[in-house]
Structure 1
Amino acid sequence: MPAGSDPLALVRDDLRDFAGYRSARTERNEGSVWLNANESAWANPADAASTLRRYPQPQPPDLRAALAALYGCQPAQLLAGRGSDECIDLLLRAVCRPGLDAVVTTPPTFGMYAVCARLHGCRLLEVPLLDRGGRMDVDFAVVADTAERSGAKLVMLCSPGNPSGTALPVQQIEALAWRLDGRALVVVDEAYGEYSDEPSSVALLERLRNVVVLRTLSKAHALAAARIGSVIADPALITVLQRCQAPYPLPQPCVDVALSALSAPAQAQTGDRVVQATRERECLQDALAGLSCVRAVYASQANFVLVRFADAQRALEALLAAGIVVRDMRAQPRLGDALRISLGTPEQNSAVLDTLAGLA
């Protein structure tokens, strides 16, 4: 049993005993004629397999088991949802009292943390990343002080960071979690974890009950449209989050494709492509650093590179003229000259470099 305080003490008082909605698929009934969910008696003509007229299982055991095996946890520690976005929303919904509780973030970072905090009426406390010229680091001491002083319920960390690309040391995450034990959940968003050399924070759940990890099949596993994300946490907290979740969050076709993607042959191919992507990342970073139009390239452990330009508008226009769409980061705090470039195929990465080289 992990040490530390019971994370249920951080759940909203009014939701600790909340039963949620019990759908027809949560009832453990056996039978051959299913007339309990008001489903159509006939399949839709577009449903060749005649399977979509039935509501799906809320948490398919086979998918939950496959994801748990992938991430190194127990099925009871994992809840599957509609991408990491829903998992973030569920955490805010279950833990933070609207108008009273706060969330700590470290901008520039993934925008959904702030969006969910605002939608739930929570205070947003920002501790800016430390820009060291070639990487952006979390100021863990200030994060801890801010969380303690404000009584924040959630601390959102992104590792590797988006858009920074910086992977956070697990030892520092663990120290933060111990310091905030009984005070806040430390949430580590590892959407880009497959591309990182830093070990996953999932291992911390063996020692700490206030660590929460987010994972997704959208990035390295190339299933962005399937919307399969996971929140990994203490089993008691997972139970509460499931009660706050919509009755049927996972469409059956998405579950089917996710299970296929988690087969041994598919995972082997995914691993090979991650290796190729990281090689491309190193080549792209080195080449970008040598261009006269580039001010700085941030070291990345994700599948993208954050780049500062002498003239970001000109660089953006040149790439768009070549048919290359990148992410304009200039609206983000302290990134007024930056673009984020996702890793493409070797040919696509070469096209980026050729286009930017023409600005010299």
Structure 2
Amino acid sequence: MSTVIATRTSAAAPLSPSPLALVREDLRDFAGYRSARSDKLDGRIWLNANESAWLNPADRDGDLRRYPDPQPPRLRAALADLYGCAPEQLLAGRGSDEGIDLLVRAVCRPGADAVLVTSPTFGMYAVSARLHGSRVVDVPLRDEAWGWYCDFAAIAATVATQDVKIVFLCSPGNPTGEPLPREAIAALARQVEGRALVVVDEAYLDYADAESVVGLIAQQRNIVVLHTLSKAHALAAARLGSVIADAELIALLRRCQAPYPLPAPCVELAVQALSVPARAATAAHVADACQQRDTLYRRLQGLSGVRTVYPSQANFLLVRFDDAQCVFDRLLAAGVVVRDLRAAARLDDALRISIGTPEQNAAVIDVLASGQGAA
């Protein structure tokens, strides 16, 4: 797998301020809900959580009548090993979406603070902000001849003037596919220190020739990283993601999380999927996906009706067409479903194509090359 385990920054570097200073003042001493599993107790007869004393007939193993551990140590340790952090720096949750929502609720004051996004980007950043009553400030990516460019200087200037408390960066970008420079992210975090968190969504980093920013957290404590098992690890239905951040911030987010966020069957499946053999298999699948992505990129570039194929280090390609509606309809008629992005700003001629098996990718090319998808 292409994700590089990041090493910690030199201890000689000055430590940045605690990120708790950026948390809503009314939540800094928030204790949260204390569930029956909050206290680590040992016993023979468990009568503290109002659980059923009788099994459900569908519960063959007898494990489902008990509430699960809110943060199972085995899962947390396996994820921490995968991402190169300490277990206390990691919060497991229901996909990256829960992490996004927790961060917005914990940091932004409704009606007062803003989050910053760089469109086109993953839509859940703005959705979570708006549901919470926070403003969304956009510093759009620049569409250059060679690909998409993130204007870090403009982001820093906007944070200074717009009451931005969270900067959401997606690296590699969704739907753009470009990784962001690690050094630029570190510099931005230093520039907005004391004003904002820099949240880097690394959902697609496994497919990129790029280093994680997790290792920057040790010194730059306003950096937060999101990860998910939905993409490279092929566990989208299990809904398991991670927030990686300074341990003090993770402890606060844990107090803001729902009492029992992780279903026990999903946890067990994830632990198995993070074993050494399973991780080796995942790495092989990622290598195959990257090879297929690069092949599909080259083949799409030579087709009539294709306007632009953007370079990508994710498991998808963003493609502009002369007639995107025609291409979408023809692919759908052939049984091939791709993502229609034409409602997004500056993408009114674009479709996003996920990387499939060699046979599935060949089906896309066959439809377009045969003239079925030509404008």
Report the TM-score when normalising by structure 2.
0.95
Correspondence 1:231-310 to 2 at 5 A = 231-310=243-322
Tell me by how many angstroms 1:206 deviates: 2.1
User: Secondary structure at the residue paired with 1:259?
Assistant: helix
User: Aligned equivalents of 2:72 and 2:145: distance in 1?
Assistant: 45
Residues 132-183 of structure 1, C-alpha deviation per residue, up to 9 Å, x if partnerless? 1342121100011001111210000000000000100100000000001111
Q: Look up the match of 2:6.
A: none
The secondary structure found in structure 1 opposite 2:217 is helix
Three-state SS of the structure 2 residue aligned to 1:36 is coil
Cα distance in 2 between the residues matched to 1:242 and 1:93: 12
Give the conservation status (yes or no) of the 8 Å contact 2:338–2:352: yes
SS at match of 1:26: coil
Q: Is the 8 A contact 2:218 2:246 kept in 1?
A: no
Stretches of structure 1 lacking an aligned partner (at least 5 in a row): none
Q: 1:116 aligned to 2:128?
A: yes
The answer as to whether partners of 1:134 and 1:297 remain within 8 angstroms in 2 is no
- Is the Cα–Cα contact under 8 Å of residues 315 and 356 in structure 1 kept in the other structure? yes
In the alignment, the residues of structure 2 paired with residue 187 and residue 88 of structure 1 have an alpha-carbon distance, to the nearest angstrom, of 9
Q: 2:92 is matched with which residue?
A: 80
**Quick one: distance in 2 between partners of 1:149 and 1:166?**
27
Does the 8 A contact of 1:140 with 1:176 survive in 2? yes
Q: Secondary structure at the match of 2:282?
A: helix
CA contact (8 A) 1:80 1:228 kept: yes
Q: Decide whether the 8 Å contact of 1:134 with 1:296 is kept in 2.
A: no
**CA deviation string 1:71-127 (max 9, x = no partner):** 000000000000000000000010000000010100000000000010010011000
| Aligned 1:1-360 pairs, distance under 5 A | 3-359=15-371, 360=374
Contact residue 70 and residue 262 of structure 2 kept, 8 A: yes
> Matches of 2:298 and 2:41 in 1, distance apart?
60
Q: Deviations over 1:42-90 (max 9, x none)?
A: 1110010110000000000110000000000000000000000000000
CA contact (8 A) 1:133 1:298 kept: no
* Partners of 1:130 and 1:199 in 2: CA distance: 23
The root-mean-square deviation of aligned C-alpha atoms, in Å, is 0.8
Looking at structure 2, the residues matched to 250 and 135 of structure 1 have their Cα atoms a distance apart, in angstroms, of 38
CA contact (8 A) 1:133 1:296 kept: no
- Partner Cα distance (2:308, 2:247) in 1: 43
2:7 matched to which residue of 1?
Answer: none
Aligned-residue identity in percent:
65
Q: Point out 4+ residue stretches in structure 1 off by more than 2 angstroms.
A: none
Cα distance between partner residues in 2 of 1:354 and 1:147: 47
Consecutive unaligned residues in structure 2, runs of 5 or more: 1-10
TM-score (structure 1 length as normaliser): 0.99
| Partner SS state of residue 188, structure 1 | strand
Letter in 2 for 1:163: P
What amino acid is aligned across from residue 190 of structure 1 in structure 2?
Answer: E
Contact 2:189 / 2:198 at 8 angstroms: preserved in 1? Answer: yes
The one-letter amino acid paired with 2:51 is E
Partner letter of residue 143 of structure 1?
Answer: I
Q: Which amino acid aligns with 1:300?
A: S
